């Protein structure tokens, strides 16, 4: 019996040299690591189930993302503690692999920026699934927020994958954070000498006739400027679906053109007078 125990002990204490002093790993260490990681997995699974049972559906999706990052970090910590407890010199391991770690760190710099940014986005609730966002002159409806990337769909039904670190380095416009309604506008210029009161009336008529334009708040017209070639007006109105705003705005422009033709209101184009001066030779 003693002989069997001795053989098992010798087997578990068999060292696997990895190179360098203090970096030898025994089979007992490997077994300890496996047992530790299995226990951590079971505990994390139980904690995840317990926490999710008390959350709303939207919060569950956010919790899954944060929990995956926390789990990964927990595994790294437990792995390091288990190695240290088994007598492995972690300092020697780090010194031996310092060049490799530096290279990996540089390569993964943006990766970790994305992860940290993803945690910030989920915690501070600056972006939700379903929000319409504008980033780098690209507009899309958020479909999924992951730890590293955010997936959005543009009006052309193209998938837009946004690295989360973009939120830290660029200005983000959330069109729908204050609600689904947004203020849109159409600009137009008319010729000098036009009846501005009539222009205002026709612009408001074009907006009020469209079925997707809200009557409260009512559309309004601003006389913006005396331009180089035209009197500039801005028609402002409210829509419920700004993601599809291109279509109502196009319809309103068609109607404005039609009304202007009916009432002989001219939309000028830029004109320049050129004076040619001939010099006597």
Mark whether 54 and 88 lie in a shared domain.
yes
Domain enclosing residue 152, as ranges: 126-174
Q: Which residue has the higher pLDDT, 191 or 271?
A: 191
pLDDT at 85: 66
Taking every pair of Cα atoms in the chain, the longest distance, rounded to a whole number of angstroms, is: 125
Structural domain count, the chain = 3
Mark whether 102 and 168 lie in a shared domain.
no
On whether residue 11 sits in a domain, the answer given is yes
Q: Which residues are CB-contacts of 12 (< 8 A; sequence separation ≥ 6)?
A: 26, 27, 28, 31
Mark whether 188 and 168 lie in a shared domain.
no
Residue 170 belongs to domain with CATH number: 2.30.30.60
Residue 189 belongs to domain with CATH number: 3.30.70.100
On whether residue 47 sits in a domain, the answer given is yes
The alpha carbon of 106 is separated from its chain's Cα centroid by a whole number of angstroms, namely: 23
Summarize the confidence of residues 197-224 as an average pLDDT. 94
217: cis peptide before it, omega within 30°?
yes
Summarize the confidence of residues 66-76 as an average pLDDT. 75
pLDDT at 46: 83
Stated as kind and residue range, the H or E segment containing 185 is: strand 182-190
Q: Is-contact 126 174, C-beta < 8 A? A: yes
Cα distances (angstroms) measured from residue 98 to each of 55, 80, 158: 42, 16, 43
Q: At residue 186, does pLDDT exceed 80?
A: yes
pLDDT at 214: 92
Tell me how far apart the alpha carbons of residues 138 and 48 are, in angstroms, rounded to a whole number. Answer: 36
Q: How confident is the model at residue 133 (pLDDT cuts 50, 70, 90)?
A: confident
Q: At residue 95, does pLDDT exceed 60?
A: no
Q: Which residue has the higher pLDDT, 242 or 224?
A: 224
Mark whether 168 and 192 lie in a shared domain.
no
- Of the candidates 158, 174, 190, which is a domain's last residue? 174
Mark whether 6 and 61 lie in a shared domain.
yes
pLDDT at 105: 61
In percent, the amount of the chain with pLDDT more than 90 equals 25
């Amino acid at each position: 019996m003693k002989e069997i125990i001795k053989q098992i002990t010798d087997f578990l204490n068999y060292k696997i040299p990895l190179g360098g002093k203090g970096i030898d790993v025994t089979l007992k260490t490997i077994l300890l690591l496996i047992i530790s990681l299995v226990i951590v997995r079971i505990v994390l699974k139980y904690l995840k189930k317990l926490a999710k049972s008390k959350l709303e559906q939207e919060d569950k999706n956010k919790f899954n993302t944060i929990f995956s990052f926390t789990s990964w970090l927990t595994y790294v910590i437990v792995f390091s503690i288990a190695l240290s407890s088994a007598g492995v010199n972690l300092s020697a391991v780090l010194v031996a692999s310092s060049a490799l770690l530096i290279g990996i760190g540089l390569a993964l710099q943006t990766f970790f920026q994305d992860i940290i940014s993803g945690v910030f986005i989920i915690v501070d609730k600056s972006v939700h699934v379903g929000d319409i966002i504008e980033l780098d002159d690209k507009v899309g409806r958020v479909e999924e927020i992951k730890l590293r990337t955010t997936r959005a769909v543009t009006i052309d039904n193209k998938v837009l994958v946004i690295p989360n670190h973009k939120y830290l380095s660029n200005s983000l416009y959330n069109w729908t954070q204050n609600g689904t309604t947004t203020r849109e506008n159409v600009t137009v210029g008319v010729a000098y000498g036009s009846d501005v009161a009539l222009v205002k009336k026709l612009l408001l008529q074009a907006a009020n006739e469209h079925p997707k334009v809200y009557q409260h708040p009512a559309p309004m017209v601003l006389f913006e400027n005396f331009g180089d070639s035209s009197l500039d007006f801005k028609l402002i109105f409210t829509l419920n679906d700004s993601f599809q705003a291109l279509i109502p705005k196009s319809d309103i422009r068609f109607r404005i053109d039609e009304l202007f033709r009916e009432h002989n209101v001219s939309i000028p184009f830029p004109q320049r007078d050129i004076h040619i001066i001939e010099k006597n030779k």
